[in-house]
Structure 1
Amino acid sequence: MKEIAGKKVILTEGEFLRREEANKRYLMKLETPYLLRSYLHEAGRYSGRGPDAEAFGGWEDLSCQLRGHFLGHWLSAAALHYQETEDVELKAKTEVILKELELCQKDNGGEWVCPIPEKYLYWIGKGRNIWAPQYNIHKLFMGLIDVYRMMEQPKALSIADKLADWFYRWSGRYTREEFDDILDMETGGMLEVWADLYEITGQEKYKILMQRYNRSRLFEPLLEGKDVLTNMHANTTIPEVLGCAKAYDVTGEEKWLHIVEQYWKCAVTDRGCFATGGQTQGEIWTPMKKLKARLGDKNQEHCTVYNMIRLAEFLFRQTKDPAYMHYIEYNVQNGIMAQTYCPEGGLLTYFLPMKAASRKEWAGERDSFFCCHGTMVQANAAWNHRLYYQEDDHLYVTMYADSQVSFEMQGRKICLTQNQDYMNGSLMTCSENNAKQTINETVSAYANKPDFRKYVFTIHTQEDTPFHLMLRIPDWIREDAMVYINDDLYVKTNNTAKFVAINRVWRNDDKVTVLLPIGLKFIPLPDDASMGAYRYGADVLAGITEKERILKLETEKPEDELSADTERQWGEFRTFYRTENQDPGISFKKLNEIGNEPYQIYFKVK
């Protein structure tokens, strides 16, 4: 199974597209000299006489041991955008950066091109404490590889290959036990780098580097079924296991796949998740099925969300199990979308607090540049990913978003468009006069907010073509989903554990309509059934409150406590709720629409 992405998947409207475009503008706004500042400084090419008042702060400050990490994320994000849009300005900016990196590498002696000194790596070889140099360097490798693949820039591969020679010599200085000690100190995502470069070049040195970076002290206990994660830092091990995933893609060796499977079992299946789909508190894994005591102000690190989405996507490609896409949907809606691009300004949050009466702490565009700043630009460059997959004559629709996908079946070119029908009815037709509306039957048919979501797929083909259309049914549906083909009911189902399969000869303008019943669900904590969070579909709802509140229920169903509030404004239905029996009342809105308000996700109910 292969993902369809790049130019073949175009977002047509909606929140995904808005965020994608905002992300591209942000990448272009960041000045090239400041992106390169740490690299120029390390290579002796930075005079220090520039207008540094506007230089990036936080982790990009020259005093920080992780300085320069963001450029790798920037390169990856730029490559993702270019792969879809072929934006010439992004390409030109990237080419300038590559030219400067090439000069830095030359002035450093022909191999080293990193924003930190070589001695940092020798220090970790001596057991000296230093802040994650391999994490930092992995980002540069990652960006160069992505630019090579998606922008077709051979210079990027050349820079990476020469830098790899340095790592080959450095890592070869140590015995197996000594290098295992280094990996225990800090590894980053280097295994994935070597697997990527082995796939691209086939060079033996990368196979050897993969063997050296096989962290057996972590992987062997995982394979034995031991819990090696409780209270351990999450986002140091996830990149290592992503390296195992890539190693399996490249070599086909089953041991790598087994490590990934056991990691997922230990991290997700046996451990459980918050209602958001996310995990962790204070960057560490929670105890298995014990989340109540970990509701704090540092839940759900954005990097962890992003990297676990990547891991889930890999496992989906291996298994075709919709459960991995359910996991991704929750983390997209309540992680990526809830932690980036504040509705009221602010760029991202490192964490998503789940302690009552918390607020999101928004970082700005130039003052932080912590790790999540980097994964933020990557995540928001990839909104046209994870939507469609193809295997032989099967097309899989895994996410619902306004888009179009181009693909081939039996050598015939086909386009599938996906559009959400919001069933708003009375639509504005004049931006200068809010009273001017079209009059149609939908107005009376959906006087109130519909209790289902409606998606319409249209086939565009010049030749009749047989293939299987596979539709994911989200696990948040309230009752049977319904699928229609050209207005005729095809199936009703509440089975969210497998795809709906439609095998037929498709003709031009054939239409498939999917109706997904939606409503409120109360999601209890795994270790306290009397404490939970509300979800509307995949979206977690947050109550606006400056102090912790307890819900006193009039019925046995927590869902009955909330009712729609201001459900319609102008030409659209909205997702706002209010409590029925609390004094004072509590207003609820989607977590991904929370800006600077104090909020509460988990409520005790009595």
Structure 2
Amino acid sequence: MKFKKLLLLIALLPVLALAQQKIAAEAFQLSEVRLHDSPFRQAMMADMNYILALDMDRLLAPYLKEAGLQPKAENYGNWENTGLDGHIGGHYLSALSKMYAATGDVRMKERMDYMLSELKRSQEVNGDGYLSGVPGGKAIWQDIAEGKIDAGSFSLNKKWVPLYNIHKIYAGLYDAYAFGGSDEAKEMLIQFTDWAIRLVKDLSDEQIQDMLRSEHGGLNEVFADVAAITGDEKYLGLARQFSHRAVLDPLLKHEDHLTGMHANTQIPKVIGYKRIAEVGGNESWADAARFFWENVVDKRSVSIGGNSVREHFHPVDDYSGMISSEQGPETCNTYNMLKLTRQLFLSDPQVKYMDYYERALYNHILSTEEPEHGGFVYFTPMRPGHYRVYSQPHTSFWCCVGSGLENHTKYGELIYAHSGNDLYVNLFIPSTLNWKGKGLELVQETRFPDAETSTLFINPKTKSEFTLHIRYPEWMDRDALQIKVNGKEVAFAGAPGEYVALKRTWKKGDRVDLALPMHTRVEQLPDGKNYYSFLHGPIVLAAKTDTLNMDGLYADDSRGGHIAAGEKYPLNEMPVIVAPEDQLTSLVKPVAGKPMTFKLENLSPGKFANLELIPFFRLHESRYVIYFQRLSADELKEMDAKTAMEEAAKAALELATVDLVFPGEQQPESDHFIESERTNAGVTQGKHWRDATGWFSYLLTDKNKEAGKLRIMYFGADKDRHFCISINGEKLADVSLDGSKGPEFYRVDYEIPQSIIEKADGKLRVKFEANPGSVAGGIYEVRLMKR
């Protein structure tokens, strides 16, 4: 008997080796929470319709092709056949699994099982656990296993972020197990992870870190998940190997090096650091994740809870790009910030995490799905007077379509949480909780935010003593929260930003009434500029302006179809509030008979006098304003003159531009099919650049053959750099940078011979190639101009 116990102990050693970090609270399974009628349930049902509209065989085609099997249909287009083939298939498997858990709809389970059966066929044919739709992936991985690594921020061995791509199917398999209950998915996931161990077994740490310069999603997170479900230390070791030290090490020291970084490349890495800390018990990595969260939430986010401009973290003291750009906060960023917030809350259930979660959920995530047609949003511009673009099921396969498919399946994940016998009520969303382990049903009835109340009906099978923790949100005034139990007001200890604890013996039919009075407040743009957003309670308010010139409102299949490329209205023609700062909230007046609708006074020019503020999540298919500029009467006159000149110059430049690339920025370069060899990218004074000791090139479009010159932006302090510029293989110019212009940016125009344009058939491959022993660039902007 002692020998058997010893054998059992030896078998358990891998599990015991995982010194898991203590989790202070637990989330309920999605299957334990059901949404009632609300904007969230409406969004979930619209998402389900979108899911059902997609053809599984077309999503599966890349996997079958890479396994050498005959696909049953052709790939979808857009990002699904231009290098990221298969990435939506992984998201889709995650969405099916979560939607099945959240609704119990058998159609989701049937689709999940079909996807798994076809993916398993592919994995079995591959024979080594590998499973992916990365085009030509097997050759890439063979080279990498042999140490042949050529990594850039958005490429690896000349392929578009293949590590990021395979992360999506890793995550899909994990979700099919964790949410869909598929043991088959678990086995497929473990086999695929064993393949990854073999992939890097002969690589040094330096080689792996070099490889991780390429965007790789949350591979470290999913490998830590595999460690947790198997209890095997080797998978935790793999997770640590796939943790990018260039990002982790500064965070461990509480240093902020985020400015200029591609935002959604970094957030999944940090989720992985936190997950590794949970599984392996490393508190310093958990602290690094907390520091990152505080930095992004407190210093880099706008009022809707989103972050980034053109996908990159901007300087904390300069939000000008947020106001001027049509490419505002990216949905994927907030998808991942909510994952990180969930992790941090469960480790340390503080109200600040749920306050942010609520803000981002209502004002960004909920707003990124068109409620009737179900289209998903990539960028949410903060530029006054601009608009969003919505995806369509058979044309649009961006990253934010993938995360969008998942976003609206999991609204029930943190409405409630529990710790032992204690129950947390975090969000005021109509729903039913079936706490199976406790034998308790809780029903929440509310019309929040249209009504400032919520009622909880508590129905244990038998009388039960436990503590009910109710979030006292930061957006409420002190002493504003009122609580009644069975009709009697109760006294409690607690203030905004804390949980109110109600400990008692609960019986079936007990009722808790919450009064949640909201007030209107303003938030200034975080860099101190004179732009202000209005919130009522946690809800960001916005104003519709007009519905004109919204080109590409529903996206086609073009590479840049996710960008709202229609006319950008001059900022000096957008509504301005003429009032002192301390009077702003007094200018917001409720509109009688319209819940959550307000009139904003003192707007100029007069044509905006009748604008109404409504919840941004209800504003769709329209141009809008979230951030309003505030000026005095004298400042308004001065601004009109200055801004009119600036906007006219910008408009003239845009009119003269045929195509444009911002080197060093991930999506603009990917959209222009970058090719490169021995190249680097970085940021100077807030502007991204690319240079090379080899070469790099972009494919620009001139479909009307109207281009006449190439305008390049340089930095005046760059010196001893000699290179040539060519178009379609014909030399355009030899360039020498000597540093004589000092620390400022400047532009040079190069005339393009008409003969090149005529022969080009609308496509111009612009190449920057270093002279032997020198450097090409830095190049800060590549602008194709009309004749």
* TM-score scaled by length of structure 1: 0.88
Distance 1:328 1:24 in 2: 23
- Change over 3 Å in CA distance of 1:496–1:289 after alignment to 2: farther
**CA deviation vs aligned residue, 1:307-328 (integer Å, no higher than 9, x gap):** 0011011111111110010001
Is the counterpart of residue 467 in structure 1 residue 496 in structure 2? Answer: no
Amino acid at match of 1:588: L
Distance 1:394 1:132 in 2: 44
The answer (yes or no) to whether the contact 1:132–1:188 under 8 Å persists in 2 is no
Q: Select between 151-160 and 499-508 the one with higher mean Cα deviation.
A: 151-160
SS at match of 2:530: strand
Residue matched to 2:506:
506
Distance 2:507 2:39 in 1: 31
Q: Structure 2 residue aligned with 1:175, among 189, 197, 204?
A: 204
Amino acid at match of 1:165: D
- Change over 3 Å in CA distance of 1:272–1:496 after alignment to 2: farther
Distance 1:306 1:555 in 2: 33
**CA deviation vs aligned residue, 1:489-515 (integer Å, no higher than 9, x gap):** 214788222101111111221111111
Distance 2:527 2:290 in 1: 25
Q: Select between 122-131 and 211-220 the one with higher mean Cα deviation.
A: 122-131
Residue matched to 1:262:
291
Indicate the percent of aligned positions where both proteins have the same amino acid. 27
SS at match of 1:118: helix
Spell out the pairing of 1:99-498 with structure 2 (5 A cutoff): 99-116=117-134, 117-121=137-141, 122=143, 125-127=149-151, 128-269=157-298, 271-295=299-323, 296-340=325-369, 342-343=370-371, 345=373, 347-407=375-435, 413-420=439-446, 453-478=452-477, 480-491=480-491, 495-498=495-498
Aligned-pair distance for 1:232? 0.7
* Structure 1 residue ranges, 4+ long, deviating more than 4 angstroms after superposition: none
SS at match of 2:388: coil
Amino acid at match of 1:559: T
Distance 2:274 2:386 in 1: 36
Aligned-pair distance for 1:532? 0.4
Amino acid at match of 2:530: S
Aligned-pair distance for 1:292? 4.0
SS at match of 1:185: coil
- Change over 3 Å in CA distance of 1:530–1:323 after alignment to 2: same
SS at match of 2:404: helix
Aligned-pair distance for 1:85? 3.3
Q: Select between 498-507 and 10-19 the one with higher mean Cα deviation.
A: 10-19
Aligned-pair distance for 1:373? 0.6
Q: Structure 1 residue aligned with 2:613, among 585, 588, 591?
A: 588
Amino acid at match of 1:558: L
Distance 1:105 1:287 in 2: 44
Aligned-pair distance for 1:303? 0.4
Residue matched to 1:39:
63
Taking only aligned residues, the RMSD between alpha carbons, in angstroms, comes to: 2.2
- Change over 3 Å in CA distance of 1:95–1:293 after alignment to 2: closer
Is the counterpart of residue 13 in structure 1 residue 37 in structure 2? Answer: yes
The answer (yes or no) to whether the contact 1:5–1:388 under 8 Å persists in 2 is no
SS at match of 2:254: coil
Aligned-pair distance for 1:2? 0.4
- Change over 3 Å in CA distance of 1:597–1:200 after alignment to 2: same
- Change over 3 Å in CA distance of 1:144–1:421 after alignment to 2: closer
Amino acid at match of 2:473: P
Distance 2:266 2:533 in 1: 29
Aligned-pair distance for 1:345? 3.6
Amino acid at match of 1:475: E
Distance 1:300 1:27 in 2: 24
**CA deviation vs aligned residue, 1:418-441 (integer Å, no higher than 9, x gap):** 101579xxxxxxxxxxxxxxxxxx
SS at match of 1:469: strand
Distance 1:120 1:186 in 2: 15
Q: Structure 2 residue aligned with 1:579, among 591, 600, 611?
A: 600
Q: Structure 2 residue aligned with 1:598, among 617, 620, 623?
A: 623
> How many equivalent residue pairs?
564
Aligned-pair distance for 1:293? 4.2
Aligned-pair distance for 1:229? 0.6
Distance 1:233 1:157 in 2: 32
Q: Select between 313-322 and 115-124 the one with higher mean Cα deviation.
A: 115-124
Aligned-pair distance for 1:351? 0.8
Q: Select between 486-495 and 302-311 the one with higher mean Cα deviation.
A: 486-495
The answer (yes or no) to whether the contact 1:59–1:66 under 8 Å persists in 2 is yes
**CA deviation vs aligned residue, 1:183-241 (integer Å, no higher than 9, x gap):** 12333211011101111122343133123213222211111121121111111111111
SS at match of 1:111: coil
The answer (yes or no) to whether the contact 1:229–1:266 under 8 Å persists in 2 is no
Distance 1:272 1:283 in 2: 12
Structure of larger gyration radius: 2
Distance 1:169 1:422 in 2: 52
For structure 1, the 5+ residue unaligned runs are 424-448
Aligned-pair distance for 1:333? 0.9
- Change over 3 Å in CA distance of 1:95–1:548 after alignment to 2: same
SS at match of 2:212: helix
Spell out the pairing of 1:66-85 with structure 2 (5 A cutoff): 66-85=84-103
